[in-house]
Amino acid sequence: MSLRPACDRIPLRPAGPKVDLLQVLGPARTVEDIRQVLGDTELGRWRKNPKLATSLLSSLAKSALADVASQVLSFMRTGNVDVDSFHFSAAISACARGGQWQLALSLVEQMSLMRVAADAVSCNAAISVCEKGGHWALALGVLHLMSQVLCLTQTGVSCNAAISAAQKGGQWPLALHLLRHMPAMRLAADEIGHNAAISACSTSGQWRLAVSILWRMFDLETGPDTVSYSAAISAIEKGGNWRLAHSLLTQMPEARVLVDKIACSAAISSFSKGGQWQLALELLHNMPAMSIRPDVICYNAAISACEKAGKWNLALVLLQEIVSSQLKPNRISYNAAISACGKGGQWTLALGVLRRMPEVKVAPDEISCNAAISACEKAGQWRVAVYLLRGMCEARLAVSGI
């Protein structure tokens, strides 16, 4: 989640060469390196006008140089420069961009110890960095701190980041609670919060709730967007409702919402699970007309659909299409193709696909070998099956009860 840098609130001149020098130092920089770049002259200027330091810290935030920003704050304190919430907010924003959640919380704690009043920007940055690190409980703690301890007004940015943190932590009830509680705080829930809540429901398999949130978004001024539909279709895919997935995908162009690769991939997978191999192939081959290039995940879902339907010939065609599209088939691609050949009684083709895997530097696993053994067993090729079993034992792969 993007945050407005603290320097946007104060018209300051660019940080200039100091930032360039700090960036050039690279990851091997030391505390002494940073001290030499700043120098006593710079700290002297900041003592006269502390606002000048905000420009440097905000530039460091844009470059995600959290450790440097934190060290600059330390030099400011030891150099008797007045440190305020603007400085801390910029440093915490650097942590948010760099994913340094522990450092961000440490800075929040330092603000309290120094009796620097935290503002909404610094708290929002802290919540955001917790969200990026998947620490939903910490994000919720900062959100609570804002209203109950610091007496700050929670903003839409605060709640959206907390909802996203709950989503990444698999806490869908919490995500829904925060979303539903926003009107009581006189906050308008926007598409960002709704999308995070839909994703939370999708991750946890709550597809009905995901769809209900999607419908509710039509009451928003902007309405659902591509992310909303894609997350909802992904949730439906997990729930196995291919008809609803197809319906939502069809609605997207009608609602003037751009169809993306995520929506297509989820829909193809949904069709596969529902035994709708024709729909899966139709969508896969229509993707280029929508200016969407299918990836290996899309192809794998389509191959899986053919495998379930026993369409071994189509599965092999799709496997070749992956290569022709200058993509690299992975183990899932080959395993599904081997299984498709087995179900179609094409044991020699199944073995051919298995043999091809090492040639393209894809190591067969127990699923690959078990699928090939199953193909041989169905065709009565027991000697070949035993040979494969022996090879699996030598490779120490797990043999299923065939």
DSSP string, 130-198: HHHTT-HHHHHHHHHIIIIIS-PPP-HHHHHHHHHHHHHTT-HHHHHHHHHHTGGGT----HHHHHHHH
> For the ranges 5-14, 57-66, 199-208, which has the lowest average pLDDT?
5-14
Residue 156 lies in a domain: yes
Residue 47 lies in a domain: yes
Last residue of a domain, one of 130, 165, 200: 165
Residue 269 and residue 253 in contact, taking contact as beta carbons nearer than 8 Å: no
Can you tell me the mean pLDDT for 243-268?
96
| pLDDT tens sequence across 282-337 | 999 999 999 999 999 999 999 999 999 999 999 999 999 999 999 999 999 999 99
Residue 220 lies in a domain: no
In the three-class reduction of DSSP (H, G, I as helix; E, B as strand; rest coil), residue 80 is classed as coil
Residue 384 lies in a domain: yes
Can you tell me the mean pLDDT for 28-56?
81
Can you tell me the mean pLDDT for 349-356?
92
| 126: CATH | 1.25.40
Q: What is the pLDDT of residue 13?
A: 41
Residue 171 lies in a domain: no
| Residue 212, pLDDT above cutoff 80 | yes
| Residue 385, pLDDT above cutoff 80 | no
Residue 334 lies in a domain: yes
How many domains does the chain divide into? Answer: 2
Q: Which domain holds residue 381?
A: 309-402
At residue 141's C-alpha, the angle toward residues 138 and 143, to 5°, is: 115
| Residue 397, pLDDT above cutoff 70 | no
| Residue 280, pLDDT above cutoff 60 | yes
Query: For the chain, what is the mean pLDDT?
Result: 85
Last residue of a domain, one of 112, 131, 165: 165
377, 390, 400, 402 from 383: Cα distances, Å: 9, 11, 18, 15
Last residue of a domain, one of 138, 165, 192: 165
Which range in 1-10, 40-49, 58-67, 238-247 is most confidently predicted, on average pLDDT? 238-247
Residue 193 lies in a domain: no
Q: Which residues contact 356 (CB under 8 A, 6 or more apart)?
A: 334
Residue 192 and residue 159 in contact, taking contact as beta carbons nearer than 8 Å: no
**What CA–CA distance (Å, rounded) separates 338 from 296?**
17
Residue 11 pLDDT class (50, 70, 90 cuts): very low
> For the ranges 24-38, 250-264, 369-383, which has the lowest average pLDDT?
24-38
Q: What is the pLDDT of residue 305?
A: 96
Q: What is the pLDDT of residue 163?
A: 94
| Residue 101, pLDDT above cutoff 90 | no
| Residue 168, pLDDT above cutoff 50 | yes
Residue 361 lies in a domain: yes
